[in-house]
Amino acid sequence: MSTLTKKKVIVTGGAGFLGRVLCRRLVEAGVREVDIFIPRRKEFDLTHEAACERLYKEAFGGDPVDLVFHLAAEVGGIGANRANPGRYFFANMAMAMHLIEQFRIAGLIEQGSKFVQVGTICAYPKFTPVPFKEEELWNGYPEETNAPYGVAKKAAWQMLDAYRLQYGMKSAYLLPVNLYGPGDNFDLETSHVIPALVRKCVEAVDSGADHIVCWGTGKASREFLYVEDAAAGILRAAERMDEPTPINLGSSREITIRDLVELIVKLCGFRGEIRWDSTKPDGQPRRCLDTNRAAELLGWKAEVGFEDGLKQTIDWWRAHKS
C-alpha cells in the first residue's frame, strides 16, 4: 500500500502539464480527489506572501496539510527567458520563499508534513561535465539565457536545506530534465523545444510549407524525459525522501538538436527543407544527466522510450490543436 493513502495534499501548478499527470497518479496511489488542493492563480497569487499564508489556512478548511508539491513556475524556452529575466527570477524565488516560510509558520514542520520542490536542470553550470552529476551544481554559473530562472530554483533547494538544519523540516528536491508529452505547452512564444518543433512541423505539413526555421545551429544537445516518468519519480521521492538531497530525473539519452529536429520531421511526415537561424542562441551546449542517485535512493528509472513518447506527443497535438 502506498504511504500517500489518506494524505491531504497541495499541488501548486496542479493544473499544468506535469501537475495534471502528478494529480492523476496521486489518486491512483490512494489519495482521494477531495484531498488534493490545486491553488489557482486568480485566487492564490503565490508570489505574494499573504496568498501563501491564506493557502495553508483555507486549503482543507483548517485541517493540516500532509504534503506540498511545489510545481508552479513561470518559465519558457530560450526566447521567453531572454525577454523576462527579471520576472522569472522574482516570480520563482518569491513563490518558493513564501511557500516554505509559511509552511513553517503554519506549524506543518511540527506535524511531520513534507515539502517536495521540483527544481530545474537550468540550475546546473553552463559547462558542467557530461553526464551531469548532482555534486556539480555549484561548480560554475548557469547558462546565461536561463540563469535567473535556474538560480531562483537552486536557491529554493538551499532554503529547504537551511530549514532542515534549523527547524527539522522534511523535504525532497528533484531536478527533472526537459519534459515532454501529451498535454504540453505548444505556444510558440513560451514553449520548450519539443512542443515548439512538433507544432512547427505539423503546421508545415498541414499548410504545405516548403521549409521550417529552427533556432541556433543544431549542435547543442539535450536530454528529454516523458512526463509520466517524471511524475512517477516525484511521487517516489515524496514517499522515500525526508531531506532535500538533489536528485536528477532523466532518461540518460543525449541527442543533438539537429538530430531531434530530423527525428520529429520524420515522425510528423514533413518533407520540406530545414533552415537554421544561427543568429539565435543555442542555449546550454550540452545536457545529459547521471541518474544513478535516483536509482539508488528512489529505485526509479525512466521507462518510456523516446520515439514512442514523441509519437504519443505528436498524436496528441494533432488531435487537440484546434
Domains belonging to the chain, first-starting first, are 9-184+224-252+288-303 (3.40.50.720)
Per DSSP bridges, beta strands 9-12 and 67-70 are parallel
Give mean pLDDT, residues 101-107.
98
Q: Spell out where 79-176 has E strands.
A: 114-118, 170-176
pLDDT value at residue 129: 94
The residue from 56, 88, 124, 149 that is catalytic is 149
Whole-structure pTM value: 0.94
Q: Does residue 88 have an active-site annotation?
A: no
Collapsing DSSP to helix, strand or coil, 243 comes out as coil
pLDDT at residue 79, rounded to an integer: 81
Closest CA to 150 of 180, 132, 175: 175
- pLDDT tens digits, 60-79: 998 999 999 999 999 877 78
- The 10s digit of each residue's pLDDT in 35-57 is 999 999 999 999 999 999 999 99
Residues in the chain: 322
pLDDT-derived band at 168, boundaries 50, 70, 90: very high
Strands 221-226 and 254-256: antiparallel
pLDDT band (50, 70, 90) for residue 261? very high
Please write the tens of the pLDDT for every residue from 22-33. Answer: 999 999 999 999
pLDDT on residue 1:
57
Question: Residue 214: what are its φ and ψ, rounded to 5°?
Answer: -120, 145
In the chain, helix, strand, coil percent, each to 5? Answer: 45, 15, 40
